[in-house]
Structure 1
């Protein structure tokens, strides 16, 4: 009997749009979920004495993110489950780098093409739930600009973005689950 590859469902959007909250709820429901790796990278850098790795060394930060997201993708490929949910994807790295006019090696572009997600759910910026914290340096205007960069990057890679409605967590999860059932 041939093992099917898990369906990789990606959650994207600007900062503080509810992705992680929905991901945690999906995990609580028993789905296999991969959390955002940027907080882990940021905390690791702080332990090394680098307060804002993305601002101080954007290429190093992005290389670490890319490596972490590729590792998540590869692990998702071999899981024994039908659906996998991932908070932020490989193309997010180049979207951010492009937004901040930072150069990056061609391996980033190759990764965008070589690692493809099955569904991409866009969590739009939502003023009412937006918050900043120690790991989130972006203000609301920057969050909107980053969302635009993400949309452009994913659409340029021929992804069909599925916009998640601004509603209660339960409704957002129901929307996502109903969407993947119908595809």
Structure 2
């Protein structure tokens, strides 16, 4: 049976670095797509789509994450890692206090992941850039909304300890092997 493993956490918690390491180790990974959506909007003259049109941004993310899930489902790979999952979309809308259509939560309940690993905010590795505008304090707050969204669906969240990227990957693989 295929395992769909999602990595969650606020911005700048090391998820993408962990995925890059999994790719080096030969695993199939689905990258974070929010940067892609943000950069495309910037080329179209919208500086921060997430801030200026959060619902449109979230709809585009939902579509992209659903496509990633469906692509993974068609794969013969035993383990596929995702940098963020579908429930992240409504978690961020909750963080913003914005209304969103019921389909956001419906998709979260329709497309389920096997396990959820959470990377907690870690000030030592946090960096902002052109696509990551959130402060570390905002990352901490977003983290609580993410945890809430996944737990609301019924996921057991496994916390990834701080450490080197290799140690964090080893922890995740060990957890999968031992069915933690």
Name the TM-score, length of structure 2 as normaliser. Answer: 0.98
Report the equivalent of 1:41.
37
Q: Identify unmatched segments of 5+ residues in structure 2.
A: none
Q: Identify unmatched segments of 5+ residues in structure 1.
A: none
Report the equivalent of 1:58.
54
d(CA) in 2 for partners of 1:18 and 1:24? 10
Which one of the candidate residues 143, 146, 152 is aligned to 1:150?
A: 146
After TM superposition, the structure 1 = structure 2 runs for residues 3-152 of structure 1, keeping only pairs within 5 Å, are: 4=1, 6-152=2-148
Which one of the candidate residues 169, 174, 179 is aligned to 1:173?
A: 169
d(CA) in 1 for partners of 2:163 and 2:18? 11
d(CA) in 2 for partners of 1:30 and 1:46? 33
d(CA) in 2 for partners of 1:71 and 1:159? 21
Q: Which consecutive aligned stretches of 4+ in structure 1 deviate over 2 angstroms post-superposition?
A: none
Name the TM-score, length of structure 1 as normaliser. Answer: 0.97
- Deviation at residue 109 of structure 1 after TM alignment: 1.3
SS at match of 1:180: helix
Q: How many residues align?
A: 179
